[in-house]
């Protein structure tokens, strides 16, 4: 029959596990940005935007990278970058596995990783998540910031709580391990927007930001700026546009139709009536007989015939 392990053995195993866990936790907590990898066995994990001494990193073909300028070639693509190993700047390098061109194989010496904030939690003193919220000043007495990130073995996180007037309320608060927290006193918060940021002190590509807006309270009302009253400029009266008078269309003069002059009616001028000639009354004479009477009658006829000739 198999006997159960002695309690002393179980206690020893548990103690070993706790020690290993504590050591692993220490290895994953960086209070300052690292200057070189703690483990130089290839492939060594480095982070985008990190500046690091990789001169002691072991080559897969034997030896170390050394201090001479070295070119690294992607093992899975066409990416290439060149660095000075004692101060290698990984800013802008694409994530992936890279082989140093100073050895004769194609095995990677470095693995470049994109730094990430995997969880960013901001809560007030009552435990309410307030990231991105607007709340009264009474609900913003303090904030507790908890962050999980993937580069805790390489760098710490600097915490900033910037007030509306640009003051950092967090002071020198830092988070040194993934899942760590800090609490910041915000009891003197004035109304306005507060910007809360966590960022690697060297690995700048690993950062996250949120904002909390505090409402209420006495907000100073800006004094109105006197606005100069503009003097009204008289608007000139537009000159009337002369409307051209259309040239009158010449009215054709009517063709005079000659009115036939009536033929004058000849009015016969009545011949003047001859003034009656006074006939002299003969003085009674003693009759000389019938012969004298005939002479007198002839003279009377001659006198009457002479009157029309004088009128012509």
pLDDT number for residue 174: 98
Least confident of 3-7, 32-36, 126-130, 137-141: 3-7
pLDDT for residue 304 is more than 90: no
How far apart are alpha carbons 214 and 33 in whole angstroms? 34
The tokens for 207 are: 């950062």
Residues 50 and 65 in one domain: yes
Contact 143/183 with Cβ under 8 angstroms?
A: yes
pLDDT for residue 270 is more than 80: no
Q: For 154-201, how does the pLDDT look when each residue is reduced to its tens digit (9 = 90+)?
A: 999 999 999 999 999 999 999 999 999 999 999 988 999 999 999 999
Residue 148 resides in a domain? yes
Least confident of 18-27, 175-184, 291-300: 18-27
Would you place residue 302 in the very low, low, confident or very high pLDDT band (cuts 50, 70, 90)?
A: low
* Average pLDDT over every residue of 67-71: 97
Residue 123 resides in a domain? yes
Q: For 216-242, how does the pLDDT look when each residue is reduced to its tens digit (9 = 90+)?
A: 754 434 444 444 444 445 455 555 454
* Average pLDDT over every residue of 143-154: 98
pLDDT number for residue 241: 52
Give the residue from 48, 81, 113 where a domain finishes.
113
Residues 153 and 194 in one domain: yes
Residue 242 resides in a domain? no
Which one has a higher pLDDT value, 56 or 27?
A: 56
Tell me 62's DSSP state.
S
Give the residue from 113, 145, 175 where a domain finishes.
113
Residues 191 and 104 in one domain: no
pLDDT number for residue 301: 59
> For the domain that residue 145 is a member of, what is the CATH number?
2.60.40
Would you place residue 283 in the very low, low, confident or very high pLDDT band (cuts 50, 70, 90)?
A: very low
pLDDT for residue 291 is more than 90: no
Contact 209/147 with Cβ under 8 angstroms?
A: no
Residue 65 resides in a domain? yes
Residue span of the structural domain in which 45 resides: 31-113
How far apart are alpha carbons 41 and 59 in whole angstroms? 8
Residue 183 resides in a domain? yes
Backbone angles phi, psi at 8, to 5 degrees: -65, -40
Residues 122 and 54 in one domain: no
* Average pLDDT over every residue of 69-77: 95
pLDDT for residue 245 is more than 70: no
Would you place residue 303 in the very low, low, confident or very high pLDDT band (cuts 50, 70, 90)?
A: low
pLDDT for residue 14 is more than 50: no
Sheet holding 117-124, edge to edge: 117-124, 142-149, 180-185
Residues 126 and 211 in one domain: yes
* pLDDT over 70 percentage in the chain: 60
Backbone angles phi, psi at 146, to 5 degrees: -125, 135
Task: Tell me the residue ranges of DSSP E strands in the chain.
Answer: 44-47, 51-52, 70-74, 80-83, 88-89, 96-100, 110-113, 117-124, 134-136, 142-149, 157-162, 174-175, 180-185, 192-200, 207-215
Residues 82 and 122 in one domain: no
pLDDT for residue 212 is more than 50: yes
pLDDT number for residue 77: 85
Residues 127 and 210 in one domain: yes
Give the residue from 81, 113, 145 where a domain finishes.
113
Instruction: Look at the chain and report how many structural domains it folds into.
Output: 2
Would you place residue 80 in the very low, low, confident or very high pLDDT band (cuts 50, 70, 90)?
A: very high
255-286 as b/e, with b when 16 or more CB fall inside 10 Å?
eeeeeeeeeeeeeeeeeeeeeeeeeeeeeeee
pLDDT for residue 116 is more than 60: yes
* Average pLDDT over every residue of 107-136: 97
Residues 98 and 133 in one domain: no
**DSSP letters of 21-47?**
HHHHHHHT--SS--SS-S--SSSEEEE
Residues 36 and 109 in one domain: yes
Residue 4 resides in a domain? no
The tokens for 94 are: 């694409």
Residues 109 and 131 in one domain: no
Residue 140 resides in a domain? yes
Residues 148 and 95 in one domain: no
Query: Please, what is the average pLDDT of the chain?
Result: 76
Residue 91 resides in a domain? yes
pLDDT for residue 55 is more than 70: yes
Residues 182 and 155 in one domain: yes
């Amino acid at each position: 029959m198999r006997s159960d392990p002695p309690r002393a053995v179980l206690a020893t195993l548990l103690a070993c596990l706790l020690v290993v866990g504590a050591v692993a936790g220490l290895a994953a907590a960086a209070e300052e940005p690292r200057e070189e990898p703690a483990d130089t066995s290839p492939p060594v994990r480095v982070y985008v935007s990190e500046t690091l001494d990789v001169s002691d990193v072991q080559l897969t073909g034997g030896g170390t990278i050394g201090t001479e300028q070295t070119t690294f070639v992607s093992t899975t693509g066409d990416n290439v970058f060149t660095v000075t190993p004692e101060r290698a700047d990984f800013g802008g390098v694409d994530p992936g596995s890279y082989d140093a061109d100073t050895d004769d194989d194609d095995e990677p010496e470095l693995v470049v990783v994109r730094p990430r904030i995997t969880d960013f939690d901001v809560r007030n003193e009552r435990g309410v998540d307030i990231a991105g919220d607007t709340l009264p000043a009474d609900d913003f007495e303090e904030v507790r910031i908890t962050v999980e990130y993937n580069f805790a073995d390489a760098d710490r996180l600097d915490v900033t709580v910037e007030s509306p007037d640009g003051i950092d309320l967090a002071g020198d608060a830092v988070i040194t391990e993934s899942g760590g927290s800090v609490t910041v006193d915000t009891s003197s918060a004035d109304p306005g927007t507060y910007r809360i940021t966590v960022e690697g002190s060297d690995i700048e590509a690993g950062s996250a930001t949120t904002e909390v807006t505090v409402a209420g309270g006495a907000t100073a009302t800006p004094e109105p700026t006197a606005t100069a009253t503009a003097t009204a400029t008289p608007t000139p009266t537009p000159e009337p546009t002369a409307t051209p008078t259309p040239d009158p269309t010449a009215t054709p003069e009517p063709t005079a139709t000659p009115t036939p002059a009536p033929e004058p009616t000849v009015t016969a001028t009545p011949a003047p009536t001859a003034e009656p000639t006074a006939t002299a009354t003969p003085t009674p004479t003693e009759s000389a007989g019938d012969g004298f009477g005939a002479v007198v009658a002839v003279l009377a006829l001659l006198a009457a015939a002479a009157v029309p000739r004088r009128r012509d």
